Structure 1
Amino acid sequence: MRRIALAAVLAVLAGPVLADTPVTRLMDQEMRALRAISGDRMASYLSRPETEIRYSSAWLDQQDTAEGGAQWRCLAEALYFEARGESVKGQFAVAEVIMNRVDDSNYPDTICGVIHQGTGRKYQCQFTYTCDGHADVIAEREAFETVGKVARLMVDGAPRSLTSGATHYHTRSVSPRWARQFPRTASIGVHHFYRQPTRLSSN
């Protein structure tokens, strides 16, 4: 099944160019985005296992305590500092943004790389907690255990169905300049979610 899916994608990518209409221009934009995904990333995307997720505290509480390697830890820490006060659904939504960036050729191809991109320059990083000058202390162990479960599920390939491919988010209390140019894909809890537009080449 996975080989068939990959073959179908490759067939679409290699297909003929259609007449120039608004619909085909949109299709062309999506095709360019697909072509920008490396073979390894595409294979990883197509081979993700389907996991039934229920976005509730009661369901998450029933899941085993999570642990993992460096990538899991990076995601768990990001969720702790960025979204521990959010609902379970809100935490999964923030995790989707990070995982979507991992799959996007505009960003590093590891979870830790995405989260720490720009770290070291105060307020120039991608995730504020990594460059706000405050020590990253995990003081709420129960909250960390909760986000750790979310992180484990996402690293293991849980579906990303909440934010429609979002690569950015911000809290409702701020209005960054980029938010006026990026299409909003969802609003969950205190966050608005956006997808970075595909940049078309000049030729």
Structure 2
Amino acid sequence: MLLVMSLGLLAAAWVVARTDPVLPPQTVAQGRPPTPPPAVEPLELKAVAPQDAVAINAAVPFSTAPNPAARPFFLASSSPDYARSADCLAAVGLYEAGSGDADGQRAVIQVVLNRLRHPAFPKTICGVVFQGSERSTGCQFTFTCDGAMRRIPSADAWGRARAVAEQMLGGHVYTAVGNATHYHTDWVVPYWSASLDKVTAVGTHLFFRWAGWWGTPPAFRNHYAGGEPAIAKLAGLSEAHRGNAVQMADGTATPVEMTANPVLLARYDKTIVRDGDSFIVPFGRNASPDSFPSLALAACGTLDHCKVMGWAEIAETPRSFPIDPAALAGMSFSYLRNRKTGFEKALWNCDEFDRADKRDCMKPRTIAAQETRAPRAGKERVSLQDLRTALLKPTPEPDAPVAMPPRPKAKPIPMATDEP
């Protein structure tokens, strides 16, 4: 009973904590912005247990003000921005709502389109989706900066999300969310939720709009700017986001977003060493370690099995396969994907780049002096298993004479005689 009362009091306090002022009706009616657009805050959560968050969120009432539907958004399929826009919407719908929830995907995509028209947000679809994604604490949609995109969806799941995105670009409106610009799951409590109007729930997601004039239809007056940026983080899923091609050592061209790693392109002659489904990537010291997975995904493209090994020091980067075991000690980053088994893993050399999650760290490598030899002629590939075996092989001791124990003297054997 005390727990229920405590949660009720906490929820009540949450409602009272609203800081957005109530505007006079004539201000809204006149359609004039009363203040500059609200600040766009990153998603920061209160330290509340999930079960308590559900109770707090349930106790906050839905707004009783009108909830008009947003205007339809149209983008012609012939537009040069269409493919990138559709893939950005498919990604936000899939990663935020899940692969099996089409309505949840539509609701999330509607929020993106609402933001696009609001002066507080960027004027391109991909700009809205990936706003702040370059910082782990600044992203607007958590999937863009929390590592979720390392999980590659199945082709079927991606196709379904892409179909929903195309439907929304064709003018479909998910009316339930109205002009909502924010949402969160009901098991978390963001700092900003106390100052917004809760308008609806779709599954476990709660949708909000700004209180006052900035949440009304006249505020959504921005026009789509076009010129969608290529997003390196989508290179593994989207051909439209792979940008320009980087010439490989074997003569093939692997698409890589040109802005993903300018150091690679400017200082290493745009060359990534490739052997089948394995890649050697020179990142360069000026590249951010958070950009390494993006370039790895770009190099792998649509390969079901892919292995990327990267070095931050250009001079220490191997120039060909097989790789000398000694060079592996200086490897800065590795990425391995096997879609058939559902395995995908990115690891950093934490002696070079500290990671908050130590599970992202490589195991230290120690190379014995006698193993720093040139690779055998004629061998075209080297497997990780061969390298592990070589690295873990104990150092043989020099031959030495073995002392043998002395042989015992033979006891005399009595002989048979004819004597009685």
Q: Is the shorter-chain TM-score for this pair beyond 0.5, marking a shared fold?
A: yes
Match of 2:140 in 1: 126
User: CA shift at 1:31, angstroms?
Assistant: 3.9
Q: Extract structure 1 runs of 4+ deviating beyond 3 A.
A: 45-49, 133-137
Aligned residue for 2:412? Answer: none
- Aligned counterparts of 1:156 and 1:144: Cα–Cα separation in 2: 18
Runs of 5+ consecutive residues of structure 2 not aligned to the other structure: 1-22, 38-69, 75-81, 215-420
CA distance in 2, matches of 1:143, 1:48: 24
Larger radius of gyration between Structure 1 and Structure 2: 2
CA deviation after TM superposition for structure 1 residue 86, in Å: 5.6
Q: Which of 153, 159, 175 is 2:167 aligned to?
A: 153
1:188 deviation in Å?
Answer: 0.7
Q: 1:178 to 1:145 in 2, by over 3 A?
A: same
> Higher relative contact order by CA 8 Å / sep ≥ 6: 1 or 2?
1
Measure, in 1, the Cα distance between the counterparts of 2:197 and 2:175: 17
In the alignment, does 2:39 pair up with 1:25? no
Change (3 A) 1:48 1:126: closer
Q: 1:114 to 1:155 in 2, by over 3 A?
A: same
Provide the rounded CA distance (Å) in 2 between the counterparts of 1:135 and 1:105.
Answer: 28
Mapped to 2, the partners of 1:98 and 1:135 lie a distance apart of 18
Amino acid of the residue matched to residue 139 of structure 2?
C
- Corresponding residue number in structure 2 for 1:79: 93
Q: Give the distance between the partners of 1:182 and 1:159, measured in 2 at CA.
A: 22
Structure 1 stretch displaced more, 78-87 or 99-108: 78-87
Instruction: Report the CA distance between 1:139 and its aligned residue.
Output: 2.5
Correspondence 1:39-188 to 2 at 5 A:
48=73, 69-85=83-99, 87-188=101-202
Aligned to 1:39: none
Matching residue of 2:271: none
Q: Distance in 1 between matches of 2:100 and 2:187?
A: 15
CA distance in 1, matches of 2:32, 2:171: 23
| Counterparts of 2:193 and 2:169, CA distance in 1 | 27
Mapped to 2, the partners of 1:70 and 1:159 lie a distance apart of 20
Q: Partner letter of residue 23 of structure 1?
A: P
Distance 1:154 1:116 in 2: 18
State the one-letter code of the partner of 2:134: G
Aligned residue type for 2:102: V
- After superposition, give the CA deviation of every residue in 1:63-91 in whole Å (9 maximum; x if it has no partner): xxxxx511111111111111125632221
The one-letter amino acid of 1:27's match is A
**Aligned residue pairs: how many?**
151
Whole-Å Cα distance in 1 between the matches of residues 72 and 93 of structure 2? 25
1: CA distance between counterparts of 2:149 and 2:72?
38
Other structure's SS at 2:173 match: coil
**Using a 3 Å threshold, how does the CA distance of structure 1 residues 71 and 136 change in structure 2: closer, same or farther?**
farther
Give 2:27's aligned amino acid.
R
